[in-house]
Structure 1
Amino acid sequence: MILLKQRKAILAATLLYTCFVLYCMFFAFDRASSEATSYTFIFLPENFLKLPNPSDLLHPTLMDLVSIGNTAAFIPFGILVPLLYPIRFVRFLAGFILSILVIETIQAFTLLGSFDINDVLQNSSGAAIGFGAYALGRRATGMWRKIAVTGLSTVILLIGVWGIGSAIDSVLTKQEGPFVALSELDDSLGHAAKNTKPYHFKIGGQEITPQFNVYSAEGEEAKTYTYKLKNKELYFSMQYGIPDQGNFKGSISVVVDGQQILSNSADIQGHAPNRFEWFFEQADELKITVEGNEKVWDIGYKEMKYFWE
C-alpha cells in the first residue's frame, strides 16, 4: 500500500513537472507575444552543449542561465521516469529524444519558438545525466543514502558532461586567433606596407596613441590600400577620424569583394575618434580608401580557426 502511494506521488510530481516544463517551452519568456512570421529550423549544432565557461558564471548573462537551464531542467525526467517504469537506458533515451523532436517541431510550427538541434542535444544530455544518477543511486542501501548518492552523482555527471562538451566544442568550434595588424601583410601587389608606423595625434582634444599602424592619404587627395585576405573567416576592426590640426575634411571607404561596407565623410564623423568592426564569413579582397586629412589606425583582424590550424 505504501509503494502504491509512493508511485502515485511520483506520478503526480512527474505530471506537474512536465506541465511546468511545457509551459516554459511554449508560453514563458513572452513567447506568445513573439512577432515571428516564418518557421525557424536549425539542424546544424552551433556548439555541442553551448554551456558557459566556468569563468563566465562569476558574472552570468541571461543566455548563460538559459544554456544551463536547457540541460539541468531535464535531469529530473531521467530520475522520475525509471522510478515509475523499469526501462533500459537506450530505450529511455530514444523515447526521450523522439519526444523532444516532436515538441521542438510543434514549437516551430506554432511560431512559439524554433526547432533547434542545440536544444535537443542539451535536453537529452540532461535526461541522460538524470538516468545515470538514478542508476548509481539505486545501488545504495537505505532511502537517504539513495537520495544522497543520486544527488552527488547528478552533480558529478553534469560536470563530466560539461567538460566533455567543452572538449568537443574546442575541436568542432572555431576560435578567434591573435590580432593580425594589416601592416604585417603585403598588399595585393606583393609590396610591404610603407609609412604606416604608429604616431601620436589628437582628435577632438583627445590624445590618440595607435599601437599597430596608421594609414593616411600620404599627402595625396586620396589613396587606396588593397589587400588579399585569401577567403578567410575573420573579425575585422579599425579606428578612424580627422586630427585637430589641419583642415577638417576627409573621408574613409571600406570595400570587401566589391561590396562597400563603410563610407564615412567628415560631416558624419564629427570631431571624435570612431571605431568600426565587421565579421566576414569569407573575405578575399579588401580595399580601404583614405581621402583628405583622414587617419585610420590599428587596422587588423582576428581570424577564426580550429585549434589545430
Structure 2
Amino acid sequence: MMITKQRKIIFAITLFYTILILYFMFFAFGRADSLDRETGYTFLFIPDDFFRLPGLSDLLHPTLMAAVGFGNIAGFIPFGILIPLLYRTSFLRFMVLFILSILVLETVQALTLLGSFDMNDVIQNSIGAAVGFGAYKFGFRTDRVWRNITVTCISAMVLTIGIWGIFGIVDHALTKEQGPFVALNELKNSSAGPSTDTKRDSFQMGGQSIDPQYNVYSTEGKSTVTYTYTLDSSELYLYLNFGIPDQEEAQGSLRISADGQEYLSTSAEDSSHEPGMSSIYLQGAKEVMITLEGNERIWDVGFREMRYAWKW
C-alpha cells in the first residue's frame, strides 16, 4: 500500500515537472509573442559550442543565455532520477528512449515555429538525464527514503560539478586563441622589392605623432611597391595601421590580397592624412601581397596566429 502511494506521488511529481519543462520549451522567453515574426523553420544539425557552460563570471553576472546554457543540463537531471523510480530500466534503454523523446520535441519546436531544432540542446539535455540516472544509481540503494533522497541530491551535485569541470577543460581545449603578435618583417620576404624600413622613425599624421614599434612600409620614393610574404599558418589575423604623413601630399593607395583575393583596398581620398587601422582574417592563405602607391605608408604590420591553447 505504501509502495503504491509513493509511486503515485512520484508519478504526480514527474507529470508536473514534465509540464513545467514543456512550458519552458514551447512558451517561455516570449516564444509565442514572436511567432508572427518567424519566417522559416530552423534546423541546426551540427553541434556547435555545446561544451560551453557558464563560467564563474557568468554566474556572478548572470544573463539569459548563461541561464539557458546551464539549464539545458541541470533542468533535465530530475528525469534521470524520476523515470527509473517509476519504471525498471537499464541505462542504455533509458538513454535511447530519452534521446528519441528529445528529438521529437525539438522537431515539434521547429515545425511549430516556437523554437528551433538544435542538436546542442539534444546533447546537453541528454547529458543532464545521464547525470540524473547516475545520481539515482548512487542514491537509491536502501529502503530508507530520506537517506536515498539525500545521497541522490549530493550525487547529482557532485556529478554536475564534475561535468562542469570536464566541459570547461574540453571547451578550453577546443577553443582557438590568438597567439602573440609577430611582426610581418620577421617572416622571409619572398619578393624582390625593397626591404622594410627598420629605422621606424616617428612622423606626424592627422596632427598626432606616430611612433612605430615594429616596422614601417613605404614606396621609398618609387611610384608603386609590392611586398610579398609567404605565410606558414593555416589561420591568422593580420593587423596594420595605414595613412599618409602630414608633410606629404595626400595621394596614394593601399591594396592587400592573399592568394589572389583582395581583402583591403584604400586610397588617399578615403583616408587623407587621418591614420587608419585594420584587421584581416585569413584562413588557409599561403601568400600575402601588399601593394603601396604614392605616399601611402603602413606601419606595425603583423599577425596573430589562431591555435588551440594546447598547441602553444
Partner of 2:285, secondary structure, is strand
What is aligned with 2:217? 215
Partner of 2:22, secondary structure, is helix
Deviation at 1:249, TM superposition (A): 3.4
Given the alignment of the two structures, is residue 22 of structure 1 paired with residue 25 of structure 2, yes or no?
no
**Aligned counterparts of 1:244 and 1:65: Cα–Cα separation in 2:** 52
Structure 1 segment 159-198 matched on structure 2, within 5 A: 159-189=161-191, 193-196=195-198, 198=200
Given that 1:49 and 1:121 are in contact with CA atoms closer than 8 Å, whether structure 2 keeps it comes out as no
Compute the RMSD of aligned alpha carbons.
3.3
Given the alignment of the two structures, is residue 157 of structure 1 paired with residue 159 of structure 2, yes or no?
yes
**Aligned counterparts of 1:66 and 1:184: Cα–Cα separation in 2:** 46
User: What is the percent sequence identity of the aligned residues?
Assistant: 53
**Aligned counterparts of 2:118 and 2:89: Cα–Cα separation in 1:** 27
What is aligned with 2:205? 203
**Aligned counterparts of 1:135 and 1:241: Cα–Cα separation in 2:** 68
Output the TM-score relative to the length of structure 2.
Answer: 0.81
What is aligned with 1:273? 275
Given that 1:239 and 1:274 are in contact with CA atoms closer than 8 Å, whether structure 2 keeps it comes out as yes
- Structure 2 CA distance for partners of 1:108 and 1:261, relative to 1, 3 Å: farther
**Aligned counterparts of 1:305 and 1:271: Cα–Cα separation in 2:** 36
What is aligned with 2:44? 41
Structure 1 segment 63-102 matched on structure 2, within 5 A: 63-102=65-104
Given that 1:186 and 1:192 are in contact with CA atoms closer than 8 Å, whether structure 2 keeps it comes out as no
Mind listing any 5+ residue stretches in structure 1 that lack a counterpart?
Answer: none
Q: Which amino acid aligns with 2:139?
A: G
**Which moves more between the two structures, 220-229 or 55-64?**
55-64
Given that 1:73 and 1:126 are in contact with CA atoms closer than 8 Å, whether structure 2 keeps it comes out as yes
Deviation at 1:59, TM superposition (A): 4.7
- Structure 2 CA distance for partners of 1:120 and 1:271, relative to 1, 3 Å: farther
Given that 1:34 and 1:112 are in contact with CA atoms closer than 8 Å, whether structure 2 keeps it comes out as no
Given the alignment of the two structures, is residue 253 of structure 1 paired with residue 232 of structure 2, yes or no?
no
- Structure 2 CA distance for partners of 1:21 and 1:193, relative to 1, 3 Å: farther
Q: Which amino acid aligns with 1:41?
A: L
- Structure 2 CA distance for partners of 1:11 and 1:289, relative to 1, 3 Å: farther
Given that 1:201 and 1:208 are in contact with CA atoms closer than 8 Å, whether structure 2 keeps it comes out as yes
Deviation at 1:185, TM superposition (A): 0.7
**Aligned counterparts of 2:192 and 2:48: Cα–Cα separation in 1:** 37
**Which moves more between the two structures, 297-306 or 127-136?**
297-306
Given that 1:140 and 1:149 are in contact with CA atoms closer than 8 Å, whether structure 2 keeps it comes out as no
Partner of 1:178, secondary structure, is coil
Partner of 2:71, secondary structure, is helix
Given that 1:250 and 1:291 are in contact with CA atoms closer than 8 Å, whether structure 2 keeps it comes out as yes
Deviation at 1:109, TM superposition (A): 4.5
Given that 2:10 and 2:82 are in contact with CA atoms closer than 8 Å, whether structure 1 keeps it comes out as yes
1:232 aligned residue (234, 246, 260): 234
Deviation at 1:98, TM superposition (A): 1.9
- Structure 2 CA distance for partners of 1:110 and 1:268, relative to 1, 3 Å: farther
- Structure 2 CA distance for partners of 1:15 and 1:289, relative to 1, 3 Å: farther
Given the alignment of the two structures, is residue 134 of structure 1 paired with residue 136 of structure 2, yes or no?
yes
Mind listing any 5+ residue stretches in structure 2 that lack a counterpart?
Answer: none
Q: Which amino acid aligns with 1:13?
A: I
- CA offsets 1:194-215 (integer angstroms, 9 cap, x no match): 3155443443334444433232
Output the TM-score relative to the length of structure 1.
Answer: 0.81
Deviation at 1:81, TM superposition (A): 1.8
**Aligned counterparts of 1:230 and 1:114: Cα–Cα separation in 2:** 40
Given that 1:197 and 1:212 are in contact with CA atoms closer than 8 Å, whether structure 2 keeps it comes out as no
**Aligned counterparts of 2:44 and 2:193: Cα–Cα separation in 1:** 47
Structure of higher CA gyration radius: 2
**Aligned counterparts of 1:238 and 1:108: Cα–Cα separation in 2:** 44
